[in-house]
Chains A and B, each alone.
Chain A
Amino acid sequence: MPQRFRRLQEPDGRWVEVEIEGTKTRVLEGESVAAAIFASGLPWCRTTPVSGAPRAPYCMMGVCFECLVEINGVPNRQSCQISVEQGMQIRRQPGASPEYP
């Protein structure tokens, strides 16, 4: 699966480190988790509860709800509306998130 997005080189970027599907990744401070997912090269972020089809963030502005992931153990987070934070644990969300505690 080829990478869909690449980062422009910018001298003044500030970075934080998050874990995406267990892999440590350097991402831009303040960007959305969904953007970080694209930057990391992860091709999809969840499967649907209906058919199990893979989906990736779509609208990036909060109106499609395709970008649901698990953040720090909490399922169903709308990742395009949440900013990355140092040490964040981001995981894909399978179907109807059986992980409810």
Chain B
Amino acid sequence: MIKADTIVIGGGLMGLSTALHLALRGYKAIVLERHSPARHASGVNAGGLRQLNRHMAEIPLTVAASEIWKNISALVDSDCDVVLSGQVKVAETEAELQSLQARVDELNASGFHHERIIDQHKLYELVPRLVSGCVGALYSPEDGFARPFHAATAFRHKAVELGVQIITDVDVTGVDQGDSGWSVATAQGVFSASNIVNCAGAWANQVAEWFGEPVPLTPGAPMLMVTERLPHFLDPVVGAVGHKLSFKQMPNGTVIIGGAHMARLDLEREHADIDFTALKTSAKTVTQLFPHMGSARIVRAWAGIEAFMPDNIPVISASSRARGVFHAFGFSAHGFQLSPVVGRIMSELIIDGKTAMPIEPFDIRRFQEQERNTSVG
């Protein structure tokens, strides 16, 4: 039997970050991962570090995360290939620009100033190859991107250096409650700890079930595609109000194109068939916004498996049913940027029983209340 303070189920970035932050405060964590670290969403995502246009509930967290990413070496001894070249959300019409202005007003009113409106002139200065005729954009200069697998590797190395044990190729199929906490019996031995953290990504609802906490999680497989290396033409990450698009050029010249279109997922086989009819829409959007990209070649398309919640914001919360159980999942395709701060919050919840971050909107009970309401109604 291997003992620790905390067992983390899932070796994605949320699990690694949680274990790392626990270790930073001297608590021993074991991460149990079914495959290899960052095998799923955390290793294959688009790497966008975006505060821009997030749900209002996530703003305090994303701003805090942004501060960490700016100096990520201090946390994990690696720059994770972070490039803070800004993110823009392009408005093609005045009406779109007004909707963006309304958002900025709302942010400012709450005391946040990381996003602002830029005019046409500034937009074309930032994105010279953008098709002409766009009117302005929402701009967040301190956003950017990193290389997700590199980031996850850095988190993993630092965690291990601080004493975290990462067990790979171990499928957790259930937990048992004992006198002194929890134990997990696996093919690689029995692990026990006072606390359990559910960082099981798209499978987190299965874990939550074990504690009697069903959640309306939908696994989904957003798709990305990448081009061959192109000459440098773009610094910031580009999105658009009127299109589903995330468009960025990496320092090596490749362009990563996302648009939140979904592959056809077979969760059981952990396999997703790329839906090229949906990707066609992304390709069309790219040719509309960046006409010079037409002859660039796509060398690969892929999908990552991610947990989506109905309100598109995550669950970051202590269990409402079981002592010593905590949840961090359901990041609905934008958890990469949040991962450093989520790990910190989880460590605070476990060690201090509370956190200064406003996490009420992410409480798991929001779904239970909903359930009660609908069943009563």
Contacts and interface: CB of A to CB of B under 8 A. Distances in A.
A and B touch in the complex (CB under 8 A): yes
Interface of A: 49-50, 74-76, 96-98, 100-101
A95 to B, nearest CB: 8
Given A100-B292, A100-B293, 10 more contacts: A49-B229, A74-B295, A76-B295, A76-B297, A96-B231, A96-B253, A97-B231, A100-B230, A100-B296, A101-B295
13 contacts: A49-B228, A49-B253, A50-B229, A74-B295, A76-B228, A76-B295, A76-B297, A96-B230, A98-B231, A100-B231, A100-B293, A100-B296, A101-B295
A54 to B, nearest CB: 17
B229 A75 contact: no
A96 B231 CA distance: 6
Nearest to A78: B297
**Chain B: interface residue count, which band?**
10 to 19
A32 B68 CA distance: 54
A101 B292 contact: yes
Interface of B: 228-231, 253, 292-293, 295-297
Contacts of A96: 228-231, 253
Contacts of A100: 230-231, 292-293, 295-296
Contacts of B292: 100-101
Q: Which 6 A-B pairs have the closest CB atoms?
A: A49-B229, A98-B231, A96-B229, A96-B231, A96-B253, A100-B292
Contacts of A101: 292, 295
B200 to A, nearest CB: 38
A86 to B, nearest CB: 23
B340 to A, nearest CB: 31
A63 to B, nearest CB: 14
Contacts of A98: 231
Nearest to A75: B295
B177 to A, nearest CB: 55
Contacts of B228: 49, 76, 96
Nearest to A98: B231
A30 to B, nearest CB: 25
A68 B229 CA distance: 13
A91 to B, nearest CB: 15
Nearest to A50: B229
B107 to A, nearest CB: 37
A55 B231 CA distance: 19
B93 to A, nearest CB: 27
Contacts of B230: 96-97, 100
Contacts of A50: 229
B253 to A, nearest CB: 5
A44 to B, nearest CB: 19
B255 to A, nearest CB: 11
A100 B293 CA distance: 8
Contacts of A74: 295
